[in-house]
Amino acid sequence: MARILHEQTPTQQWWNHAVIYQIYPRSFASRHGQIGDLPGIIDHLGYLADLGIDAVWLSPFYLSPQKDAGYDVADYYRVDPMFGTNDDAIALINAVHEHGLRIIVDMVPNHTSDQHVWFQAALADPNSPQRQYYWFRDGKPDNHQPPNDWGSIFGSRAWTRVCDRADAPGSPWENDTQWYLHLFDSSQPDLNWDSPEVRAEFCNILRYWLDLGVDGFRVDVAHGLCKDPELPDWQFHWDMVSGGSKVPGDVPPPPQWNRPEVHEIYREWRAVLDEYGPDRALVAEAWVDNLDDMAKFVRADEMSQAFNFDFLCSPFTVNAYRTSIRESLRAMDNVGAPTTWVLSNHDVVRVVSRMGLVETGKGPNGIRPTDPQPDAQLGMQRGLAAHLLQAGLPGSCYIYQGEELALPEHTGLSDDIRQDPAYFRTRGVEAGRDGCRIPMPWNSQLPGFGFSPSGETWLPQPEEWRDLAVDVQLSRSDSTLALFRRLFAARAELRMAQAQLCEVEEDSPWLHYISRHDTRDDVHILTVFDTPTPLPTGAEIIISSRALDEPTAPGESYTVPCNCTVWFTLSS
Ligand code: GLC
């Protein structure tokens, strides 16, 4: 018996059904130097429109010392000269719209850069109003120990003593013995969201970008803004990628993550966005413990979407996927929000590599040449199967630049060129995220694969990427890029994102769903894991993530091989 997991929905706001493509600006395309820039993005909007996406999300391009690749913002109102100018941003926003797409920009409210004027003022004068914008505290009794035991997500402790900063000697703060909190790098001091001034400042920042025409914001570390004001010890530690997921049940709730007070902030932000009409989106990056907690971020008066990290972190097994899909739809339907589906971003090992590891799931924080290497073929099969599955499910789906080319993680980077603060703060225990941030290959014939005019790239590209470059894939009908174009075209045409979803056979070794919409015939989505499975007779294939096994006798049907998703209809 088929069980209904989700009801057909009318076409709602654009984000309910959208395919959203993440652009990591420094690695997308450059018109000028070795780092990608905003004009470089404008040059490739035609490519994105042809891919069949609905919106782009840009990682931060604001003024920043780039200690955490732009997630350390020194001025929220200014484009970093490295990426271009504010005029380039305006041109980009307009060009995105001219291509019929929407644009979401990143907002980083948990922390600023230590170079931000607020933090500089806070350092320069302990009595300045800006001191209250952050978390400055005296240390433990003798002041030689930090105020509490919290760890930084990037490794080591979450507190730095002002006088211990590298810029302290000879500065006005050289004798300042207070500590400041940073859940990430010491160059990313946490903002104090109890401060009404901080709240007001961010409403103005949102309005600035809304006035320029952005369609919404992806909210960085959305679960981190509020802290228990007592700042109690916690004893436990979360790392970058696992975030809150899978913290053992007996661990007390973290005093610095997923506090209920954060939701007030997003209600206030929702009201700001609504000043611009109902079609502006807020997307939560919230690494929280379970899907019901995630759903709280997308209640009607808060955000529009939250990244489904439960799905991203699920190992490639029938049980994990079945549970994640059921639970995701249940939790989001409970609050009337769309489910999102996401497999990669700039913080995790690229999906086709992650899925080629012995243990699939959230994966390690980076892969080094000396680590066990992914099985490329297996990873590719599973990664594409997962993509065809997620694109068939109701809701919105995300794709990280290069996934459409099946780019693997760069596992050959040498340690001396790594840039991720997680690598430095863990003293090299974690390789970090550089391997998923390699500049895109546009043209196999040009230096740097056409990433920049001179061929320079801020991180080296693997030589094997020549065969994966856009020009090569555009010329082949059997390329991954061609597959993604067909996939997104079929997803839109068949209204997969708006459809009812039924689960067939609740404990089979494969996943079988029926996507039902009253404008067309049923579409079946079948994902096969470890047991090759024949298609039913009369199946007409719409798309499959790899070649199916041919029938061996007349009247027999095709067989779906392991690690494969196929969409098909059944002739009645
Ligand atoms: C988010 C970003 C990540 C960044 C961190 C700190 O998790 O996705 O790249 O390092 O926040 O801002």
Give the model's pLDDT for residue 245: 43
Give the model's pLDDT for residue 243: 45
Q: Which amino acid is at 286?
A: A
d(CA 295, CA 416): 41
Q: Is 108 in the pocket of ligand 1 (CB under 6 A)?
A: yes
Give the model's pLDDT for residue 182: 98
Q: Is 150 in the pocket of ligand 1 (CB under 6 A)?
A: no
Give the model's pLDDT for residue 249: 67
Do the Cβ atoms of 159 and 140 come closer than 8 Å? no
Q: Using the 8-state DSSP alphabet, how is residue 224 labeled?
A: -
d(CA 306, CA 341): 10
Residues of the chain with pLDDT under 70: 239-249, 572
Do the Cβ atoms of 147 and 139 come closer than 8 Å? yes
Residue among 38, 49, 53 nearest 399 (CA): 53
State yes or no: is 220 an active-site residue.
yes
d(CA 509, CA 488): 27
d(CA 221, CA 108): 7
CATH homologous superfamily of domain 117-181?
Oligo-1,6-glucosidase; Domain 2 (3.90.400.10)
Rounded distance from Cα 238 to ligand 1 centre (Å): 14
Ordered by start, the domain boundaries in the chain are 117-181, 501-570
Rounded distance from Cα 138 to ligand 1 centre (Å): 27
The tokens for 245 are 């997921």
By most ligand atoms within 8 Å of CB, the mutation choice from 221, 223, 424, 430 for ligand 1 is 221
State yes or no: is 264 an active-site residue.
no
Q: Between 262-274 and 196-211, two packed helices, what is the crossing angle to 10 degrees?
A: 30
SS3 at position 473 = helix
Which is the catalytic residue, given 233, 275, 359, 467? 275
Give the model's pLDDT for residue 237: 76
Give the model's pLDDT for residue 240: 53
Q: Cβ–Cβ contacts within 10 Å for residue 319, how many?
A: 13
Non-local CB neighbours of 65 within 8 Å, separated by 6+ positions: 72, 74, 113, 115, 187
d(CA 226, CA 195): 11
Pairing outcome for strands 136-137 and 396-400: unpaired
Rg value, the chain, Cα? 24
Which is the catalytic residue, given 68, 114, 220, 285? 220
Q: Could you report the per-residue pLDDT of 89-128, keeping only the tens digit for each?
A: 999 999 999 999 999 999 999 999 999 999 999 999 999 9
Of 2.60.40.1180, 2.40.50.140, 3.90.1150.150, 2.60.40.1120, the CATH number of 501-570 is: 2.60.40.1180
Residue among 183, 263, 217, 255 nearest 191 (CA): 183
Do the Cβ atoms of 83 and 29 come closer than 8 Å? no
d(CA 461, CA 448): 7
Rounded distance from Cα 220 to ligand 1 centre (Å): 6
